Amino acid sequence: MAATAQDSTAPLRMGPEKKDEDQDEYETEYSPFYGIEKGAVLQEARIFHDPNLDPRRCSQARSAARARRAAQQRRTPTDRAALRPLPQWERPITRPPAAPTRRPQVITKLLYLLNQGETFTKQQQQQQQEQQQQLTAMAAAGGTKEASEVFFAATKLFQARDPHLRRMVYLCIKDICPGSDEVIIVTSSLMKDMNSTVDLYRANAVRVLCQIVDSQLLAQIERYLKQAVVDKSPVVAASVLCSAVHLMAHNTDIIKRWVNEVQEAAQSKHPMVQFHAVALLHALRATDRLAVSKLVTQLTKASIKSPLAQCLLVRYVAQVIADSQPGPSGEARPFYDFLESCLRHKGELVIFEAARAICNLRDVSARELAPAITVLQLFLSSSKPVLRFAALRTLNRVAMTHPMAVTNCNIDMEGLIGDSNRSIATLAITTLLKTGNEGSVDKLLKQIGGFMGEITDDFKVVVVEAIRALAVKFPGKQRALMAFLAGALREEGGFEYKKAIVASILQLIQIPDSKEAGLAHLCEFIEDCEFTFLSCQVRDRATLHLAQLSGDLGGPAALLSAAARRPDPGALEARLKAYLAEGEGEEEFDLESVPEAPSTPARAAGARGAAAGAMLPGTTGFGGGGGAPAARGAGGAAAPAAVAAAFNAAQAEAEAALKAVPEFAAYGPMFKACPPARLTEEDTEYAITAVKHVLGGRLVVRFDCANTVPEQVLQNVTVALDLSGAEGFVEEACIPLPQMPLNATGHCWSVLRLAGGPGAMPSGKLGAVLRFTVKEIDPGTGEAEEEGYDDEYQLEDLDVSAADYVKPRALANFRSAWEELPAETEREDDYGLGPREGLQETAEAVVGILGMQPCEGTEAVPPNARSHAVLLSGSFPGDRPALVRLLLGMDAGGSVAMKVVSRAVDEGLSEAVHAIIQEA
């Protein structure tokens, strides 16, 4: 057939090729050819003006040429350089303009420009879109006019009878994408084609129409489209079904009326018709789980011939299985047999889809996995790289949860380590790392080391993750694995990659034997790390481990003394201390002399909390290191959640800083410290962050100030708060910072008394201005000048909200605590949260806003749940408890609604809880 496919057009296309060769050489030899491009085009444009040309043809040609000329003018020199030399059909000399196929060539040129001269495409389309919004404003713009002109001209070509030309016109209309007011011009022509006897005209007209119509017009042509669904020509039926899948997005109601026709089309013998019909049937039911389940039952019994349709069905089945509640153990999953039967399908496409679906089943058993693994194993020895990659990627994922199930494939995978496709080789290694035994680790590490330099960072991260898992599995191989990671840490690499390595080493450090070696590697890394954030994190973590190493875990103060007063143990500690001294200023470890001294160990405590929350959830690192401070706040909760842990660590840090100022001792114990808030943009001259503390009926604000300008000294630094914007605050005291350290942090303080006693919780925005005395540094002597001048620097407002007064409170029994609180304080309110990613994400966000402690494990939303209740407990200043029941529900469209019911010791507090949510 290939021989005959081109008969009508072939001579014209293939003919000039030989003739053209000389010119082609000319073109490659003399690149200045680019220079005459414009001239050639202008000349071509003149040909279009030729009076001998058919006027219809001329109008088309002229507008295309104009569009082209406009594109030339708009292009910048670099754009022009990016354009490749004109293909031969762009040159006027080679082909007489009167040739009958001239017009499609002009259209091709237009499409070439749309495809190639990219700025042109973009501008035109953008203008088109804008035009739809504001017609008048754009009417003046030349580009819009041109696009419209081209479009109008193209519509004239409907009068020509050449099928190829017609096909190009269809494509052209789709690419130009006319504005809604222009669509009407082509609809009648397209409608005519939709009723043509030629299948391809019908099919293409349907596709074009469905792409450009609006709902109103769609309603008018709906009857024709509905008929076309059951058209006996597969190309027509497939076209309309495919278009309907797109139309579903905005015109669900219209498409829903076609359900019977679509059902019929799903029985079609033609594979693509069946595929699109099945896709549409599902799309029509996608929001209704029960209907999807029924559809799946129906389709699994029907005979689906199209491999793509079968793939869809496999996906639907997987979805139904995921949505169904897991039955009692041992009971067969519904539809599992169907998936297994798909493994024996004759199309690789379907086999793979089914194998993948089985591997991804939730809580899949080894017995269920076995047949899928077997077919994937066969794929591993395929000659097609795509198939090998697909199988290996799936096996790699299975190996994370079921390494034993994959061990049968080890020999096949070992053969793929040397695969010429690096992605396959990497996957093979990481999978083997997960499934291999202890003896093969050294061999694998050697092989990996051989090609680490050649793979992308994405894959390097995968390798590092695999090594981390391996280290946990085979503690005996710690030394070799640590050496590998250390080597990797020294190599070049991006942030994510280095972060993965650091996280891995930090995990390895948990194992006592590798602690010293790991810390040594990290220390080395701190010195050369190019990522500031990462090196800070490493430093903080290292400090924590240093403290652990010295065996003293007695909270911030003890940490401090551990770091400051014991000169040993060993070189490692000395090295760390040297680094810390370098980074933080020399007196850092001397508790008595400098007020900001506690910041270093305290930050370590903070980092520890953050790490427990973010970096290494659930590892032993936190439990050991954070014992003392965590236990105090968590009230002996058996397994303090990451939230509480991070919170307590931050509290301990803040409290330590607070205690360093003797003036605050009289205020009594700290109730709560809020997370730091930046008051300056990043990379400004001064970096100021504020930490609010609630204690003794006061709001004590600590401002962490850092100077980044080495040419000046800032002294007597205060932050003046403007209280006029908020009620209920009275300025009580202000402790200035004698001198703002360069690139390090010093504190100044403001104390606001809360009018109305310890229970008051005023909120509002407080304007903040940094005030200080500047002294220039004499560049000659390096000394600060004697005389300074006062200056100020506007900071961002300091927000005080109701949430600042809440802290999480662990609770053993939520129900009894709820009952104990007076029922009349109960306040209830509903909130619509709009579309969200999922309930888990929503729950986390709301818990974050409220700053309360989730109880009884309710913070975890079960997978696929459509509604969920979170129980929260918190307390307000004066240790007054408040409890919240948070009910979340998600509708079919993904929108989340929330009901908040609160109880507290008094009504004011209960209302305060709602105020927090309303403010957020």
Partner 1 sequence: MALDPTCPKVKNLLLLDSEGKRIAVKYYSPEWSTVNSQANYEKSVWGKTSRTNARGEAEIVMFDDVLVVYKCLGDLMFYVTGGQDENELILYAVLQAFYESVSILLRQQVDKKTVLENLDLVLLAVDEIIDRGLVLETEPQVVASRVSMRGADGDVPVVEQTFSQAFASAREQIARSLLK
Length reported for the chain: 920
With CB under 8 A as the contact rule, the residue among 11, 35, 87, 418 that binds partner 1 is 87
The two structure tokens encoding residue 297: 């039952």
With CB under 8 A as the contact rule, the residue among 6, 188, 381, 813 that binds partner 1 is 6
24 binds partner 1 (CB under 8 A): yes
Please work out the total of residues on this chain that contact partner 1, with binding judged by CB under 8 A: 88
For residues 456 and 493, give the distance between their C-alpha atoms in angstroms, rounded to a whole number.
9
- If the CB atoms of residues 115 and 188 are measured against partner 1, the closer one turns out to be 115
Q: Nearest to residue 228, comparing CAs of 217, 218, 236, 220?
A: 236
Q: Which of residues 139-198 bind partner 1 (CB under 8 A)?
A: 163-164, 166-168, 171, 174, 198
Q: CB neighbours of 86 closer than 8 A, spacing ≥ 6? A: 37, 40
903 binds partner 1 (CB under 8 A): no
864 binds partner 1 (CB under 8 A): no
Give the range of 9-17, 338-346, 520-528, 683-691 binding partner 1 by CB under 8 A: 9-17
CB of 243 to partner 1, least distance (A): 7
User: What track of x and - describes contact with partner 1 for positions 90 through 129 (by CB under 8 A)?
Assistant: --------------xx-xx--xx--xx-xx-xx-------
Backbone phi, psi, residue 775, to 5°: -125, 125
For residues 546 and 562, give the distance between their C-alpha atoms in angstroms, rounded to a whole number.
9
- If the CB atoms of residues 356 and 885 are measured against partner 1, the closer one turns out to be 356
CB of 104 to partner 1, least distance (A): 6
DSSP states of 548-576:
HHTT--SHHHHHHHHHHH---SHHHHHHH
Question: Tokens 């301990």 sit at which residue?
Answer: 652
661 binds partner 1 (CB under 8 A): no
CB of 665 to partner 1, least distance (A): 54
Q: CB neighbours of 220 closer than 8 A, spacing ≥ 6? A: none
Pairing state between β 698-707 and 746-754: antiparallel
- If the CB atoms of residues 413 and 643 are measured against partner 1, the closer one turns out to be 413
- If the CB atoms of residues 769 and 892 are measured against partner 1, the closer one turns out to be 892
User: What track of x and - describes contact with partner 1 for positions 418 through 437 (by CB under 8 A)?
Assistant: --xx-x--------------
CB of 431 to partner 1, least distance (A): 15
Specify burial of residue 677 (Cβ count, 10 A radius: 0-12, 13-18, 19+). middle
* Cβ density class 88-112: b for 16+ within 10 Å, e for less: bbbbeeebebeeeebbbbbbbbbeb
With CB under 8 A as the contact rule, the residue among 128, 131, 189, 239 that binds partner 1 is 239
With CB under 8 A as the contact rule, the residue among 4, 134, 781, 816 that binds partner 1 is 4
User: What track of x and - describes contact with partner 1 for positions 197 through 236 (by CB under 8 A)?
Assistant: -xxxx-x---x---x-----------------------x-
- If the CB atoms of residues 295 and 544 are measured against partner 1, the closer one turns out to be 295
5 binds partner 1 (CB under 8 A): yes
DSSP states of 360-411:
TSTT--HHHHHHHHHHHHHHHT-S-HHHHHHHHHHHHHHHHH-HHHHGGGHH
330 binds partner 1 (CB under 8 A): no
- If the CB atoms of residues 68 and 166 are measured against partner 1, the closer one turns out to be 166
Residue 343: strand, helix, or coil:
coil
CB of 433 to partner 1, least distance (A): 18
Q: Which of residues 815-854 bind partner 1 (CB under 8 A)?
A: none
Pairing state between β 712-722 and 764-776: antiparallel
For residues 610 and 606, give the distance between their C-alpha atoms in angstroms, rounded to a whole number.
6
Assign residue 668 a region: left if phi > 0, alpha if psi is -120 to 50, beta otherwise? Answer: left
Q: Which of residues 352-391 bind partner 1 (CB under 8 A)?
A: 352-353, 356, 383-387, 389-390
- If the CB atoms of residues 241 and 690 are measured against partner 1, the closer one turns out to be 241
664 binds partner 1 (CB under 8 A): no
**365 within 8 A of 397, measured Cβ to Cβ:** no
Helix axes 441-451, 422-435, angle to 10 degrees: 160
CB of 8 to partner 1, least distance (A): 7
With CB under 8 A as the contact rule, the residue among 255, 266, 295, 311 that binds partner 1 is 311
CB of 738 to partner 1, least distance (A): 50
Give the range of 249-257, 409-417, 729-737, 810-818 binding partner 1 by CB under 8 A: 249-257
